[in-house]
Structures are given as C-alpha cells and as structure tokens.
Chains A and B, each alone.
Chain A
C-alpha cells in the first residue's frame, strides 16, 4: 500500500508540531513491510536555497521517498495555491505516485483546493486529514483565542470572527467557512490528536462520523536512560517551547514577579526555547524587559534563567535540570507534544486546565492544573509544587508512559484500513456536543 504523507514544511528545515508528527509517522511507516510511505513536504521561499530552476517538486537531500513541494505565491488569506503550474505539478505527482492513501497533515503552503484536486485526480484513493490546530475554523492562527481580549473563543461565527478582524467583513467569514468546508468535503476521514477537538469540529459542522481520534506519538528521546536524584526539594521548573505569546512564557514571568512580591523566592525556572522574534511586539517587550532586570541581579537572587533553543537530542540534558515541566499555554493546545516529552523523562506537568492539556494531564494524579491564563493561579501552583512535601513524588510516580511512535502508527493503520485499531479510538461526541439536528443545521446552513 502506498501512502502519501503531505506535510507543511520538513521538520529539518522548519520546526513545528505538524511536520514533526508527520515525519515521525513517515519513519514509523517505513518499518512496515506492507506499506510504502512517501513524504511530500512543502517548503516556501524561506528555503530558497533548495529551489531549482523550473522545478516545482524535487527530492530532498538524497533521501528515499522524501520530496519537497516548492511552494510559492501561497495565498494565506484563502489558503490556496495561486500558481497554476504548481497545481499541475501536484496533480502530475499524484498521477505518477498513484498512492492508495493521501494523508494531509495540513493544507498550509499547498492550499485547501489541493484537497479537492486530489479527490478529482485520484477518485478511488482515500483522503485522510489530520487537524493539528483549528485554523480551518479560526483565522486567528487557529488558536481559538479572541483577539479582542485574549479570551478563549467558545465558537466561531461570522460576526464574532469579524470582531477579531475588524478590517474584514462578516460576509468574508461566511465565504471563508463555505470555502473551507467545500474542500474539506473531499476528505474521507479526519483525525484529531485529542478527543476534545472532535466536539469543536462537530459543533462547527463536520460530520462526527468522519472524525477519529488518533494520538500523536514520538520515539522515546530518553532512550530509557533517566537521570535520578534523591533531592528532597523539588523546586526546579522548566519551560520548553517557543517564546511566543500563545505559549504563555510571559505568564510564568508574571507569576515569578507575583511570588517575589509575596516573598517566596526559593525556586528556579529555566526557560528553554527560541523564536522570540515571532512573538508580538508587546509580548517580546515584556519578556525582554523582565530579563533585562533579572539578568542584572546577583546570581543567588536570580530565579529565571534563559537556556536558549534546543534540539530533541538535547532534551535529556535539559530535562535533567528540572523537576517539573510547566505548560503555560494560553490557548487550548491540540496535543502539547511537550507533555509527552516531559513524561519521557518522568517529569510531572503543571499545565493550564483546558483543552488538550487538561485532557492529558490529570489534576492531582499525575500533575497539577491551574486556571488558564491566570498568573496568580500559576504562582500558587508553583509555590505549592515547590513546597508541599511528597507532592512531587506522588505525582511523578503516576506519570504515564507517553504515546509512542508505534502507538501512533497502529492508530493510523486502523484509519488507513490496514489493521484493527489499537491506539485509535472513535471520538465519541462529548455530552456537551450539539444534538444531531443542530449539527445538521450547522452543516446544511451553507450548502444543502
């Protein structure tokens, strides 16, 4: 069976969860004797050094079955291709490869319309689409965070979306929804890495019967070699991730400020990650202002340390320096790979009480929750974690084994129809999901 994996970016060229998971799946499928995976990863002009004259699709670094789609002129408003020869090249590639399954991990840099052209080119192929965020629903980077006040968005509507983008019109969002759904209609099965996502997409109008939960999985970066110590104080916290607004590192810094005001300073926080340049100006200014002061303090008075960006092979070393992982995201997250990475190293997680974070981390069982977006709640959680005797030991003892790459591969094989489900499970609509009639109305309202 030939499976074409369509990835936004290549993880070796641009970091990101979608491409990382897609590549893990590609690697996992390569181990199967009855499957021939082919990777088509998009790159944009930021990787211009890989562009070849007249080429639209090329190989990648002499690797078998890895190809690059040289995207250009991508329309980020409508998420569509704008260059006819690129569409023609994509179609030709499909005709040459003749995959049995085309598994999209995003439409970014390809275009939503390439879902439809895939269906038209390969009428008998199965098309799978994995959602890694909510950009199909939400144009605010798919985060479901309202740009008006930073609050979580309960649901999209044309007027509510307009409120986030006052330079557009409500009608534009009406058309956007119609456009996105038009192309998602070409998909046979959608997969989501967290169960709560199903409810959001069903409420938006997708058919619940077409949505399946398949966990993300990674190889174990610890290689089974864990650093243990018998310290009694468990007051070292680590943040792992990008230093952008949505990841909430500024929330941690505010919590530190709060604890200092309260006179509690017996803890350390290590910030691991980069891409501060992609944060908003306000967020970047807040973070830089904090460190401008922090880094001038005498060493014994410092609480927060910046370690810079890291690669996965550095995780072991960085995780060894902390007791807890803090996931301070101010959006729902759709899986939060960092939780898996923390668990690989047996670190309990302190995270926001919403979305994928709350779904994966069980409060008081294997980690702690705090109210999403609240630096006060985070400060309380940090103080408790650093001071409560036996808490760390109790929670660390219950840290689950993170889903492995094999778990994920088994889950997708079930979706592909080549194996019975193991890790995959049909996402039952949560009790809060709309009734079928309401869902039908949602989907029919645009195009019956």
Chain B
C-alpha cells in the first residue's frame, strides 16, 4: 500500500475515497509519481507496453539525472519516469519534455504530429555510485517498463550543458520557440533553473581572487567585466579604457567564467597593470557560473560605491567618459542615477542601444486537439540601427530597462535588489530582470548620454548549450514578469512611465500594448 495515511482517512470517513483526496490534494502533491506509490504498483513489463527506447542516461555526483529517449505512447501518454535501486523506487518525475524524433517515427509507425521523443532531468537524494546499475522505469498509465542501464557519469556542468544543448536542438512540428516554451512550462523549466542555480552557487563559492595594481586610491567606480572564452578582451579593454583621462578613479574587476583561461588572464592582468597602470582585480571561477552569478561574485570584490557592469566588447567612444560619468553620478538627482545605462554604438557607426523596452510575441501551439496561446516577452532595444546623432535617443530619460552591456548602478541599490538573479542559465535576461526589480521597488532606470561602442555578441564564445539556456531564460523571464509588464510596461511608450511623467520617448510606432494583446482583449 502506497499511502496508508489516506487509507486510514478513508476508513475513518474523513475522505469519501482515495480518489476524492487525490483530486483535492494529491494532484498538487504529486502523489501518483511519489516513489512509494510507483513502488507499490505491480511491475509488469507487459508486451502491450508501447514501443520505446532509452538512448541516454547521464548522472552527476550530486544526484542529478538526465534521461533521453523515445516512446510511441499514442493511446495514453508517458506520465512518469523513475529509477530504482534494488527494488526500491528512489526518484521519480512527471516533468517530461517531448520533442520530435524523426529517426523513431518509421519504427513506431505513428501518424504525423506525434512527438515521440522525451527527455527529463530530475534529482534524487540518493545519488548513484559510478559502478551501480540503474533500473529505469517508464510509466504509461499504471503500466511500467524497466530498463537496466549503465549511466554515464559526468559532472553537473556537463550535465547542464547536455540538457541545454538537447533543448536547443530539439525539433517539433510547429514553431520551435513556442513548443519549447510549452515543454518548459510543464515543469522542466523550473528543474533546469534549480539545477543551474546549484551549479552557480558551487562555482562562485570556489572563486579565487587576484589583485594587480596599487589599490590605494579612492575610486569613483568599479568596472565589472565578465569574460567567457575570449581572454583578449582583457588587454583590449585595458588599452582602450586606460587612454581616457580620469580612468585612474576607476578599477577593473574581471570575472572569468572560463577556468581554462585562468593562467592566461593572470598573465594578461599582470602585463596590463604594468603597461597601462590600471588597477585590476581578477575573480577566477572554477566553472561557468553564468553572467548573473559571476557578476555578483565580482561585485562583492568592488572597492567603490558605484558598479559599472560592462561587457567585454564595450569600448569608450569618447575619451572623457570617466569624468562625465563621475559628474553624472555626483550632480544629478539620485533617482536618475541609481541605475542608468548609456547609448551604445555598433562598429558601423549606427546606434545599437538607447534603453530597452518590452513587447510580446504570441505563439500558438496545437496540441491534443487544442490551440493554446503562449505569451513570450521580447526585449527590444530603442534605437537599434538608428542614425548616430538622433537627439531623442541621446537625451537623459527614464526607460523600462537598460542593457547589461553597460549598466551603471549604485552599489547599495544593487545589493538591496539582491544583485543579478541566479535563476537564469548562462546569460540573457538578467539585465532586464534586474531593471524590472528596480522598477518594482520604485526606481526606474535612466539613460544618460555617455556613448560607448558595443560589438554586440562578439565578446564571448557561444555554444549550442547557450541557445538552450536562452530558451529557458526567456521562459523564466516571461513566467516571472508577464503580469508586471502587462500592467503598463508594454511597448515603446509604456503607459506607466509616461503617466508617471518619467518618459516622453519618440513618437511611438504603435500603441502601448501589442496588437496581439489588444486583439485578445477584444475577444475576451
């Protein structure tokens, strides 16, 4: 018996039936996938179980498991995956993502439109030793099929990369972003996010700090740069920034998400300090903690009250930027400087960024005889590709968000907000998330005109896993901020900023709410 407590409650007349309890509480509690329930079901391995195959099982020392396979579950769906040690179910999940498996379709003889592929990640408190054989169970209805598998043992970062890469490469019958959203919303998004957060925490705990320079000066700001895969940006930035008068009142903090670059970065920092006379702190991480966690680790090393979060591929466009930046912080009202961004330019001369705003893509997914809508927030940059001297984009003004490519923030405010969220995988959306938390706490970001170059996307290497991470992040960002943004922060001229008298951006191209939003409202 799986749940003697429920049986007793039914006997006592507290519940009319176990079914009644299940639909009242059990669904929420996940009772049908609890190991004690699955373990109580008779093992069948019957011949009528749908054709299926488990391709990959990866496990990590910390008890995380990634399972990839396919199943022709055309009548009833795959509802749970578990593994057992001995005869005991030790972990189970019903957060299962589905995807297209063209390679399995002929063998399964399924009709078009059926997603045969499945994959999941889950955690157990009883991690396996590498030599142990895992018995994996797939459940369709109350029938299961067992597989004796020899999982590959890899570390958690590799496991995360595999999962994200698989998400990025997954195929569907409809729009891949919408379908990925649907799969993540089924619970796997939270699982991936939690796993990543554990990894980031572990990595930042192992940070190694090295300091180069005299570190005795009083500073106006700490320039924090997160490096990944491209060490050359340390010396390129040091060379460019050090040519600017007033830079002696700023320090550099480079945080590296690429452990393999540690020695090279140490050498480059040594030389940069000697050649350019700049103060550099290196925060070397033993893995890729992601943009948010790495920047938080770097911020903890700052020696000033002002943090400038800067991408490695950002370079000064005007030599006097340090004095101008310091003057903005010193002279403007605090509400305009607590968190602000600057105009960024492409190398071709056109504007790349003058603040960010939010819009929605509405994706449609046809599944199980239904058409579902999925809102997906799109973060847009004001001024992308605009003529370089467009006055409207170069004036000081409030904006919904600014890019993390260059973000100047009062350190105390940064800490009040809790820094960048560690919920995002690798990178993307942390900057907008931080800005929205700032708005939520009463402080709208501003733009002030201290222009920089930004070679967008060139400052770091990008792997397929990062694409998967971006999908998770977009889902996470939408899940977190959808309602908040809908409340007056949609579009180029968000009504909330305009009504607060904070913004009067250039003539809007369309109304404050996206056409899809308006249309849906009309129908409802």
Contact residue among A117, A172, A179, A447 (Cβ-Cβ distance under 8 Å from B275): A117
* A447 closest partner in B (C-beta): B319
Q: Does A448 make an interface contact (CB < 8 A)?
A: yes
Cα–Cα distance between A62 and B182 once the two chains are bound (Å): 77
The interface residues of chain A lying within 8 Å CB-to-CB of B313 are: 171
Of the stretches A4-12, A77-85, A215-223, A253-261, the one at the interface is: A77-85
The interface residues of chain A lying within 8 Å CB-to-CB of B277 are: 120
Cα–Cα distance between A174 and B315 once the two chains are bound (Å): 11
Contact flags A68-84 to B (C-beta < 8 A → 1, else 0): 00000000001011111
* Contact across chains for A169 and B274 when beta carbons are under 8 A apart: no
* Contact across chains for A447 and B347 when beta carbons are under 8 A apart: no
* Contact across chains for A116 and B275 when beta carbons are under 8 A apart: yes
Q: Does A97 make an interface contact (CB < 8 A)?
A: no
* Contact across chains for A87 and B240 when beta carbons are under 8 A apart: no
* Contact across chains for B240 and A447 when beta carbons are under 8 A apart: yes
Closest chain-A Cβ to B326's Cβ sits at a distance in Å of 18
Most buried by B among A80, A88, A91, A158: A80
Closest chain-A Cβ to B264's Cβ sits at a distance in Å of 8
Interface residues in A163-207 by Cβ distance below 8 A to B read: 169-172, 174-175, 178-179, 182-183, 185
* Contact across chains for A175 and B275 when beta carbons are under 8 A apart: no
Closest chain-A Cβ to B152's Cβ sits at a distance in Å of 34
Q: Does A341 make an interface contact (CB < 8 A)?
A: no
Instruction: Provide the main secondary structure of the chain A interface.
Output: helix
* B318 closest partner in A (C-beta): A448
Closest chain-A Cβ to B318's Cβ sits at a distance in Å of 5
* Contact across chains for A182 and B240 when beta carbons are under 8 A apart: yes
Contact residue among A84, A120, A170, A178 (Cβ-Cβ distance under 8 Å from B315): A178
* B267 closest partner in A (C-beta): A84
Closest chain-A Cβ to B102's Cβ sits at a distance in Å of 33
Q: Does B22 make an interface contact (CB < 8 A)?
A: no
Q: Does B236 make an interface contact (CB < 8 A)?
A: yes
The interface residues of chain B lying within 8 Å CB-to-CB of A445 are: 349
* Contact across chains for A447 and B274 when beta carbons are under 8 A apart: no
Contact residue among B239, B316, B349 (Cβ-Cβ distance under 8 Å from A116): B239
* Contact across chains for A179 and B271 when beta carbons are under 8 A apart: no
Q: Does B31 make an interface contact (CB < 8 A)?
A: no
* Contact across chains for A448 and B317 when beta carbons are under 8 A apart: yes
* Contact across chains for B243 and A87 when beta carbons are under 8 A apart: no
Cα–Cα distance between A172 and B315 once the two chains are bound (Å): 13
Most buried by A among B243, B277, B348: B243
Cα–Cα distance between A178 and B232 once the two chains are bound (Å): 14
The interface residues of chain A lying within 8 Å CB-to-CB of B315 are: 175, 178
Most buried by B among A81, A170, A175: A175
Interface residues in A74-107 by Cβ distance below 8 A to B read: 78, 80-84, 87-88, 91
A171/B271 contact (C-beta < 8 A), A78-B232, A179-B236, A185-B243 known: no
Interface residues in B229-255 by Cβ distance below 8 A to A read: 232, 235-236, 239-240, 243
Contact residue among A88, A91, A117, A447 (Cβ-Cβ distance under 8 Å from B317): A447
Cα–Cα distance between A83 and B236 once the two chains are bound (Å): 16
A83/B317 contact (C-beta < 8 A), A113-B275, A171-B455, A178-B240 known: no
A175/B236 contact (C-beta < 8 A), A169-B458, A448-B319 known: yes
Q: Does B174 make an interface contact (CB < 8 A)?
A: no
The interface residues of chain B lying within 8 Å CB-to-CB of A175 are: 236, 315, 455
Cα–Cα distance between A87 and B273 once the two chains are bound (Å): 11
CB contacts between A and B, total, < 8 Å: 68
Contact residue among A91, A158, A182 (Cβ-Cβ distance under 8 Å from B239): A182
Q: Does B276 make an interface contact (CB < 8 A)?
A: yes
Contact flags B418-442 to A (C-beta < 8 A → 1, else 0): 0000000000000000000000000
The interface residues of chain A lying within 8 Å CB-to-CB of B455 are: 171, 174-175
Range for the number of chain A residues in contact with chain B: 20 to 34
The interface residues of chain A lying within 8 Å CB-to-CB of B84 are: none
Contact flags B1-36 to A (C-beta < 8 A → 1, else 0): 000000000000000000000000000000000000
* Contact across chains for B316 and A82 when beta carbons are under 8 A apart: no
Closest chain-B Cβ to A302's Cβ sits at a distance in Å of 53
Cα–Cα distance between A169 and B271 once the two chains are bound (Å): 26
* Contact across chains for A82 and B239 when beta carbons are under 8 A apart: no
Most buried by B among A82, A179, A182, A183: A182
Most buried by B among A82, A117, A178: A178
* Contact across chains for B267 and A171 when beta carbons are under 8 A apart: no
Cα–Cα distance between A185 and B276 once the two chains are bound (Å): 13
Interface residues in B316-372 by Cβ distance below 8 A to A read: 316-319, 347-349
The interface residues of chain A lying within 8 Å CB-to-CB of B275 are: 87, 113-114, 116-117, 120
Closest chain-A Cβ to B267's Cβ sits at a distance in Å of 5
Cα–Cα distance between A170 and B268 once the two chains are bound (Å): 24
* Contact across chains for B239 and A183 when beta carbons are under 8 A apart: yes
* Contact across chains for A158 and B274 when beta carbons are under 8 A apart: no
Closest chain-B Cβ to A87's Cβ sits at a distance in Å of 5
Q: Does B270 make an interface contact (CB < 8 A)?
A: yes
The interface residues of chain A lying within 8 Å CB-to-CB of B270 are: 84
The interface residues of chain B lying within 8 Å CB-to-CB of A185 are: 243
* Contact across chains for B267 and A158 when beta carbons are under 8 A apart: no
The interface residues of chain B lying within 8 Å CB-to-CB of A84 are: 267, 270-271, 274
* A159 closest partner in B (C-beta): B348
Closest chain-A Cβ to B76's Cβ sits at a distance in Å of 51
* A83 closest partner in B (C-beta): B267
* A175 closest partner in B (C-beta): B236
Contact flags B445-485 to A (C-beta < 8 A → 1, else 0): 00000000101001000000000000000000000000000
* Contact across chains for A179 and B243 when beta carbons are under 8 A apart: no
Cα–Cα distance between A282 and B313 once the two chains are bound (Å): 38
Contact flags B40-65 to A (C-beta < 8 A → 1, else 0): 00000000000000000000000000
The interface residues of chain A lying within 8 Å CB-to-CB of B316 are: 447
The interface residues of chain B lying within 8 Å CB-to-CB of A158 are: 347-348
The interface residues of chain B lying within 8 Å CB-to-CB of A113 are: 235, 239, 271, 275
* A82 closest partner in B (C-beta): B267
* A169 closest partner in B (C-beta): B458
Interface residues in B272-317 by Cβ distance below 8 A to A read: 274-277, 313, 315-317
The interface residues of chain B lying within 8 Å CB-to-CB of A172 are: 458
Cα–Cα distance between A175 and B313 once the two chains are bound (Å): 9
* A77 closest partner in B (C-beta): B232
Cα–Cα distance between A384 and B39 once the two chains are bound (Å): 100
* Contact across chains for B232 and A171 when beta carbons are under 8 A apart: no
Closest chain-A Cβ to B344's Cβ sits at a distance in Å of 13
The interface residues of chain B lying within 8 Å CB-to-CB of A81 are: 271
* Contact across chains for A182 and B243 when beta carbons are under 8 A apart: yes
Interface set of B (CB-CB < 8 Å, partner A) = 232, 235-236, 239-240, 243, 267-268, 270-271, 274-277, 313, 315-319, 347-349, 453, 455, 458
30 pairs, A vs B, C-beta closer than 8 Å: A80-B235, A81-B271, A82-B268, A82-B271, A84-B267, A84-B270, A88-B274, A113-B239, A113-B275, A116-B275, A120-B275, A120-B276, A120-B277, A158-B347, A158-B348, A169-B458, A171-B313, A171-B347, A172-B458, A174-B455, A175-B315, A178-B236, A178-B315, A179-B236, A179-B240, A447-B240, A447-B316, A447-B318, A448-B317, A448-B318
Interface set of A (CB-CB < 8 Å, partner B) = 78, 80-84, 87-88, 91, 113-114, 116-117, 120, 158, 169-172, 174-175, 178-179, 182-183, 185, 445, 447-448
**Which 6 residue pairs are nearest across A and B when measured between Cβ atoms?**
A174-B347, A171-B455, A84-B270, A117-B275, A171-B458, A182-B239
Besides the contacts A171-B458, A178-B240, A448-B319, what 10 more A-B pairs have beta carbons closer than 8 Å?
Answer: A78-B232, A82-B267, A82-B268, A113-B235, A113-B239, A117-B275, A172-B458, A175-B236, A182-B240, A447-B318
